[in-house]
Structure 1
Amino acid sequence: MDFSITKDDEAAAAAFDRFCQDKIAPRAAKADAASTFPKETWGDLKEIGFFQSFYEGDYGLGLPWVQRCMMEESLAKACASTFLTACAHIGLCGAPVFYFGTPEQKQRWLRPLVDVEQIGCFGLTEPGCGTDAAAIKTRAKKSEKGWVLSGEKALITNAPIADFAVVFAVTDPEAGYGGVTMFGVDLKKPGVTRSAPYPKMGLRASPTGGLTFEEVALSDDDVIGEVGQGFIHAMQTLELGRIGMCHFGLGIAEAAYDCARKYAGERTAFGRPIARLQAVHFKIADMKIEIDAARMMARRVAWMKSKGEMVGPMASIAKAYATEMAVRVADAAVQIHGGWGYTTDFPAERYLRDARLGPIGEGTSEIQRELIARDLFAE
């Protein structure tokens, strides 16, 4: 396995990392405190080419997977809320259109997402179900002019600010997994309402909310992919999202590690920096071990994806480990800061709050272990 990229690609990734530290990171604490996503960030990410990094051809730069993942890690390190909102917009929402949409649908929906003329979201989760797409209650009934959509979605990243949504609905209640279809929905249509942003434990600058559809009229041109293939499309999209969540965990862990190491070098106790105390520097060494181990897993998944290999089980392994690792590392950072780690004077507490979504989002850690076990014991 060769995880290396060209020197030019490496330089581009380094330039993006500097951009994130110069432009994105300084806004993170204020945005978190205000529970508001900075509007200027959209323009900055567009200008640097972040949204063009996801796809190829007319809709992107066709960047290598490893380089793209390095960029995602840099963004999450600078501001996890920015990572979540930006990647839900161009990744979770954009991927189904790019991979399963018609050329007309790509021009209609993906082009405005890449150009940041519209904000996108991914409407799968409902108040009573998450990863189990076959259990969704949202219905799309056939009509003379197309379809009529009714139902409710919950816990949707970007829902309070989105213009467009990829929405999953049951079109054949008797068909189980084969009865789910994916639709592109203009959220300005009559019958669409949205909730206010949810108050959240972490990632507060990334708006999360609900969507309600009351007999929303859709056409056959709004069906993405084939009727009845929505569950498969959802699982394929979530697999891509899990690769991103590996780097969400890595970015937060790197930020927590950096702040803990800096604090340990500056804080003194018993006449010397606490970094010289074995209890502290062993903890920091453990943080480094876990981060590097998670990065090797994440890079392996990116490399496998670039080679066109099946990544399902490995994506689950890397996602589960990297996101759980981020929680452990962020918790250690708070502990190293002592009482100050529990205050907003230092960013350690924010990293811990933000990291806690990782083992939940894009399929819980329990779901990842179920997928891993199924693969291990498959006949």
Structure 2
Amino acid sequence: MTTLARQLGLKDAVVIGLGSMIGAGIFAVFGPAAQAAGSGLLVGLAIAAIVAFCNATSSAQLAAQHPVSGGTYAYGRAQLGPWWGFAAGWCFLIGKTASTAAMALTFAAYAAPTGGEKPIAALAVAAVAIVNLLGVTRTAMATRVIVIVVLACLGAALIAANADVQRAPLGEVFAAGPYGVLQAAALIFFAFAGYARIATMGEEVRDPARTIPRAIVIALAGAFVVYALVAVTVLTVLGPEQLASTTSPLADAVPAWARAVVRIGAAAASLGALLALMAGIGRTGLAMAREGDLPRPLAAVHERRRVPHRIELVLAAVSITLVLTVDLRGAIGFSSFGVLLYYFIANVSAWTQTPDHRRYPKWLQGLGMIGCLVLAAAVPWQSLVAGAAVLVIGVAGRMLPKRRSSP
């Protein structure tokens, strides 16, 4: 069996993690979060960061013991059994495939605000698929360039937004109540959810037992600082009411001359997140195909490029179909539900690790389990129902071939 090549170092891993988190969410998520919680979104941001940290430490601890592709799909299989692994992998694939289409549409909205968004989104998916097919070092290189562009644009936007502005009143932090704050946390968690993306690429990282845990924590810390700066800026410049009514909060918070910079940063961020996202989904799909949870022919790895080319092509085809045919504005809640269940299984898996593999206190995994379930329950009920239905469909689909193969 052809395996993936270990070509990524610590800097590459951190960059891929940052590229996964500092994406389209930072330019869009604070509007819906303000709708849910007003100025309480800052509390929601803190809650999302705490849950993300618990999940990240669990993922890092598991990745050190199981340095293979597949992330929680592989960890769940190893620690809990095949069905747990399948549930994690299925939630990841479905939720994140929808997210790739959402990222592509967000890119197109900023790159072509005057129209023609769907064809441009489809072209973006095709272009990113080609980059991923060229090899993982090209993916890391492209992501590094995109992260630099995004951080430069964000820095310029924050300076412009905070220069000689009248601060808006914040109002009561807990006016929306606990449920509003938790819903804001669930929405913001969607934007954080790329922090463990490098764990799904464990087969391509040098010295994974040391590199992956460090990269995950460093990337999460860096992304939290950026998110906190942006959240405080848009909230204090626009105020909770105006922030809740806009779909482009950072653009509205800066002077007119700086809006082009924000648009460039948003387009680059969306493209960077799409790049890292498709790479991570491809590796999870590869692991599932190797175990027979997806059709085994999808487990092929290109002999020269050393990438899972078949699963990457299938992913690109599905994503292009979605961007051309479906409105994915409601995909954030659905994706958050699936990803939170995915990380719930990661925390359960880390809870079962033996002391010699434990790097973090066990209570962190317990807090992560509770946090994931609470935030999953806080998503809009439509997303909750849709996510549960898709999970049941996936489980039923896996049971059919198992029954046919049994004597």
Give TM-score, length-normalised by structure 1: 0.31
Q: Per residue, is there more helix in 1 or in 2?
A: 2
Bigger RCO of structures 1 and 2 (CA < 8 A, at least 6 apart):
2
Greater gyration radius: 1
Q: Per residue, is there more strand in 1 or in 2?
A: 1
